[in-house]
Amino acid sequence: ARAAAASAPLTPGALKDGTAVPLLANLGKPEGAEEAAALGAEGVGLFRTEFLFLSSTHAPTVAQQKESYTKLLAAFPGKKVVVRVLDAGADKPLAFLNDAHEENPALGLRGIRSLRASEDILREQLTALAEADAATEADLWVMAPMVATVEEAEYFTELAREYGVKTAGVMVEVPAAALLADRVLAVADFASIGTNDLTQYTMAADRLLGSVSSYQDPWHPAVLRLIQATGEGGRANGKPVGICGEAAADPLLAVVLVGLGATSLSMAPTALADVRASLLEHTLDDAKRIAAAALDAADAASAREAARDAAARDT
Ligand code: PEP
Ligand code: MG
């Protein structure tokens, strides 16, 4: 019986009423792909590509990148795999890309801003991704980090399409992009909300600084309102809005995020089982009611408590 349970197929992520909520994995290296699939990941919602760049003094070659992307994509035939182009700067500084003298690196040349300043690196990355895509069967989506303006969304999606990327999107992790999500998502094919940075920038509190760590709480209603605005921007344009920050790994917050309009959730693979179980306890109407209770709170602790009370009605 134990063997049967271990080999039983894991059900896809869904709410109690059957509404599908694909559960995806956050990965930082292609080596994690098989374990993620074994834990029930229906694909990859965030593949961070920094590992290829971090330990070196220069950018990896197209061939080196292609090898890694091919390994990743080959592990998910027929499945969605969202790759994020290099997010250098701030908490992920790169010697050959970032100016060490920025006073406020989180507000500096990071993410899409630094790629634009070194566009050859972005072009090489897109070349390697296109080659890996052509060699494999996964459904490749590519997204840019730290997009703040509609113009940046246009820049990235147009460039990605030049390389044959079929689904090009943006991360929403800057409040400006969340507030203008209706326009950003008129341009991009999808959005993925990075709640770690979205919280940092909403609360104006460095995510790496222990003395302000109490602000780094995605339950804050200010953060939830920006997630709601992004969900509405997706709905208005008929585009998917995923979540790939740590918030998606919190089983109760995951329900709130779906109630706010998230159409998929991506997380560390070890969190998949608890989130899957939590979603099955609530319908979409329940999730919207629980989200409304959290949104109505004045601070993070009360939002969590209000959601817990509202969710208790369903079990
Ligand atoms: C985020 O900001 O929430 C995110 C997923 O990206 P990272 O943590 O890599 O900045
Ligand atoms: Mg981020």
Ligand 2 center from residue 146 Cα (angstroms)? 7
Pocket test of ligand 1: the residue of 27, 49, 87 to mutate, having most ligand atoms within 8 Å of its CB, is 87
Ligand minimally distant from the alpha carbon of residue 48: 1
Distance from Cα 198 to the centre of ligand 2, integer Å: 8
Alpha carbon 200 to chain centroid, angstroms? 15
Q: Does ligand 1 come within 6 angstroms of the Cβ of 244?
A: yes
Which residue puts its alpha carbon closest to atom 6 of ligand 1?
A: 194
What sign does the CA torsion over 111, 116, 119, 124 have?
positive
Residue 173, ligand 1, Cβ within 6 A: yes
Q: What value of ipTM does the predicted structure carry?
A: 0.99
Encode pLDDT of 205-251 as tens digits.
999 999 999 999 999 999 999 999 999 999 999 999 999 999 999 99
The torsion angles phi and psi of 184, rounded to 5 degrees, stand at -60, -40
Ligand nearest to the CA of 247: 1
Distance 315 CA to ligand 1 centre (A): 32
In the reported structure, the alpha carbon of residue 281 is separated from the centroid of ligand 1 by a whole-number distance in angstroms of 28
Q: What's the pLDDT tens digit per position in 58-69?
A: 889 999 999 999
> Is the beta carbon of 196 within 6 A of some atom in ligand 1?
yes
Tell me which residue has tokens 């993070």.
300
Ligand 1 pocket check for 127: Cβ under 6 Å = no
Residue whose CA lies nearest to ligand 1 atom number 9: 48
Q: How far apart are CA 30 and CA 75, in angstroms?
A: 9
Residue 6: phi and psi, rounded to 5, are -65, -30
Taking 3-state DSSP, the helix, strand and coil percentages for the chain, each rounded to the nearest 5, stand at: 50, 15, 35
pLDDT at 93 over 70: yes
Beta carbons of 239 and 189 less than 8 angstroms apart:
yes
Crossing angle of helices 300-312 and 284-295, rounded to 10°? 150
Residues 34 and 40: beta-carbon distance below 8 Å: no
Distance from the CA of 249 to the center of ligand 2, in angstroms?
15
Q: How far is the CA of 312 from the centre of ligand 2 (A)?
A: 32
Rounded Cα distance between 165 and 53, Å, is 22
Q: What is the pLDDT of residue 4?
A: 42
Strand partners, 27: 47
Comparing CA positions, the residue from 225, 169, 175 lying closest to residue 192 is 169
**Ligand 1 atom having least distance to the Cα of 194:** 3
Region 154-172: mean pLDDT is: 98
Distance 256 CA to ligand 2 centre (A): 20
Report pTM: 0.95
Q: Give nearest CA residue, ligand 1 atom 10.
A: 197
From 271, 265, 273, select the one nearest 245 (Cα to Cα): 265
What are 111-138's pLDDT values in tens digits? 999 999 999 999 999 999 999 999 999 9
DSSP-assigned states of every residue in 217-244:
-TT-HHHHHHHHHHHHHHHHHT--EEE-
Give percent above pLDDT 70 in the chain: 96
Does ligand 1 have an atom closer than 6 angstroms to the CB of 200?
A: no
Tokens encoding 63: 């061939």
Q: How far is the CA of 91 from the centre of ligand 2 (A)?
A: 9
Ligand 2 is a single-atom ion; what residues have CB below 5 A from it?
Answer: 173, 194, 197
Residue 194 Cβ contacting ligand 1 at under 6 Å: yes
Residue 56: pLDDT over 70:
no
